[in-house]
Amino acid sequence: QKEVEQNSGPLSVPEGAIASLNCTYSDRVSQSFFWYRQYSGKSPELIMSIYSNGDKEDGRFTAQLNKASQYVSLLIRDSQPSDSATYLCAVIRTGSARQLTFGSGTQLTVLP
Amino acid sequence: NAGVTQTPKFQVLKTGQSMTLQCAQDMNHNSMYWYRQDPGMGLRLIYYSASEGTTDKGEVPNGYNVSRLNKREFSLRLESAAPSQTSVYFCASSEASIADIYEQYFGPGTRLTVT
């Protein structure tokens, strides 16, 4: 079992819809969770970090964390074509000296 | 602030050649990292430096060496390049936020091809 799992997609949503990206992790002692956006040919860009159960909102983005289910998600409201990218979920495990473990990413396409 | 910078942007090597990838950050971060990204494999940690003067192996360190030259700079060296090291290499840096979360910020990457 991979430490961090994401559906590879591609996930397609129409413009203006809500895009829902999901991530599960295997290590129960994971403590911090991150969502990165990566455009084709570019470097990962940090969108959100979350470490407490519940929701965290930043503009059109909402991160949701459920530690009991070992599940973290990213919702993108009012999706725009410019949101089309690969979204990477990453986790820092307790005691891992701040090392990020990444999922393979979900490719999102927002259709005009 | 430039953030995290990397040189070169592109490089082609022949098998057996050596080279050093350079990384610098101007955010006064203590921690720095080197990753490689391959299709279908995601980002994998090669080496990291939690603070100036320390370096540690990550998930895929074989064939690489690193040097934390000072707080700003962290270099990655390939002593004898192999085709399996064809990849995109990213440098990142981090510092603890108020909530003690280490958010990592990435450089633009180096695309390396080994023939």
Give DSSP secondary structure letters for B35-102: EEEETTTEEEEEEEESSTT--EE-S--TTEEEEE-SSSBEEEEESS--GGG-EEEEEEEEEE-TTS-E
How close B107 comes to chain A (CA, Å)?
A: 7
Across the interface, whether the CB atoms of B42 and A43 are under 8 A apart is answered no
Has residue A80 got a pLDDT over 90? yes
Name residues whose C-beta falls within 8 Å of residue B52's C-beta, 6 or more positions apart in sequence.
B30, B68, B70, B71
Q: Answer for the pair A13, A79: CB distance below 8 angstroms, yes or no.
A: yes
**Cβ within 8 Å, pair B103-A51:** no
Is residue B34 pLDDT above 70, yes or no?
A: yes
- Residue B3 in contact with partner chain A when CB distance is under 8 A: no
* Residue partners of A55: CB distance under 8 A and separation at least 6: A62, A63, A64
Residue B4 pLDDT grade (very low, low, confident, very high; cuts 50, 70, 90): very high
Confidence at residue B42, expressed as pLDDT on a 0 to 100 scale: 84
Q: Do B31 and A98 touch (CB under 8 A)?
A: yes
Residues in chain B: 115
Interface of B with A in 62-91 (CB under 8 A): 90
Query: pLDDT of A18-68, one tens digit each?
Result: 999 999 999 888 888 999 999 999 999 999 999 899 999 999 999 999 999
Mean per-residue pLDDT of chain B: 93
Specify the higher pLDDT residue, A30 or A81: A81
CB contact under 8 A, A92 and B31: no
User: What's the pLDDT band for A97 if we cut at 50, 70, 90?
Assistant: low
CB < 8 Å to A44, chain B? 43, 90, 106
Chain A residue at shortest CA distance from B49: A97
pLDDT of residue B95: 85
> How is A15-64 classified by DSSP, letter by letter?
TTSPEEEEEEES-TTEEEEEEEEE-TTS--EEEEEE-SSEEEEETTEEEE
| Band (A3; pLDDT cuts 50, 70, 90) | confident
Interface check B45 vs A, CB under 8 A: yes
**A33 contacts chain B (CB < 8 A):** no
Residue-level length of chain A: 112
